[in-house]
Amino acid sequence: MAMTDTPRIVVGVPREHRAGETRVALSPTALPQITQAGFDVVIEAGAGDRAGYPDATFTARGARVGTRDEAFGTDVVVQVNVMDADASSADLSRLRPGQVVIGAVAPFARPEVVKAVAATGATLFALELVPRTTRAQSMDILSSQAAVAGYKAVLTAANALPKMFPLLTTAAGTIAPAKVFIVGAGVAGLAAIATSRRLGALVEAYDVRPAAREEVESLGARFVELPLETGQEAGSGGYATQLSEEAIRKQQELMATTVAASDVVITTAQVQGSTAPVIITTEMVRGMAPGSVIIDLAAEQGGNCEPTVAGETVDVDGVRVIGVVNLPGAIPVHASQLFGKNVANFLGLMVVDGRFDPGVDDAVMKESVVASGGDVVNNRVREALGLERLPEPEPPAPAPVTDDAPVPEEAAT
């Protein structure tokens, strides 16, 4: 619903300055939805260049191109990486009380960025904290960017592997298909399975959540069974939870044979708000054939593979362990398109009855806000900063039952 009877709210899109970042927080494809909702858009000159979107593609959809100061002088600022993931960013001085900032924050890994934004008086929404519910799927940047990362991880592995992925029968003989093992069957893992299968590989996958088996098999992969009690029968908000040290050790022992028989291993296991679990030990890597490849999608969170170094390729007895970082940034056109759609849908929640209201009483907004009113308001982020917890809101009181209350339909049958 477009906003009425009030000045149009302006959304600013600064150019990303974080090293290696090629994405832009809003792509031209997202602009019609935003402008129809009643927003105007100012984009910093050149903000979309590295994503394949020159300034003209934005102005053609109704945006205005301006300076960095103009992009930060708006009512709402959207970024792929808030403050370029730097708590000492010079852009902090451009923020002001009452302004809204939206983007990826990594609030548990970089709580100091949240604290720095809070000190400016701006309201900060961390899109990583959007709940994984059906209603919020269209705003979930973790899922949209993970799908891109899973796809690109397979292409990276295929490029590094000194073998071909598909079965190939020729007059000179038959080439056996590559064996790919995917650890973690979340969004990234499922995208990796589908891409590996399209390239013709034999694919196996494992996840601590037994419920993932159906999704794995629906994509044509074999689900690896490990006789291990994980306590993950029902995920929490779509995320796996941290296993105990004993469970991880047992998992490693049981998985070693599968890893050794694989040409490619792609690890995707991450735990929200914690370092990534080490699933593949150095000893397990040494058990793989020389020339094999491991792609660690959790490298920036510490890595699922013991030898992983973020941003580097480590050779372990002829096995290449590739600690990939920002894989979505390697496909910036579509990564930006998906990210921008997530942002547009999130902004839509702030339009209520035709008016802009960033404090709207909405579960998605409440879970994703991390700074407001000059303070850090998310208790998990406060704990990471060593701050005292804020009192949790009281749950709503149950409605009183009266004699004339209507009988629920299921009780009347």
> What is the number of other CB atoms lying within 10 angstroms of the CB of residue 57?
16
135: left (phi over 0), alpha (psi -120 to 50) or beta: alpha
* Cα-Cα-Cα-Cα dihedral sign, residues 182, 188, 190, 196: negative
**β-pair type (319-322, 313-316):** antiparallel
Evaluate whether 197 touches 203 at the Cβ level (below 8 Å). yes
Name the residue among 280, 319, 318, 317 with its Cα closest to residue 299: 280
Encoded tokens for 5: 């009877």
| Alpha carbons 154 and 193: distance in angstroms, whole number | 8
Encoded tokens for 65: 């191109």
| Alpha carbons 348 and 360: distance in angstroms, whole number | 11
336: left (phi over 0), alpha (psi -120 to 50) or beta: alpha
Which residue reads 């370092």 in tokens?
275
Active-site annotation, residues: 132, 137, 140, 143, 239
Q: Name residue 120's amino acid.
A: T
Q: What angle, rounded to 10 degrees, do the helices at 187-198 and 141-160 form?
A: 40
Q: Which residues contact 110 (CB under 8 A, 6 or more apart)?
A: 85, 87
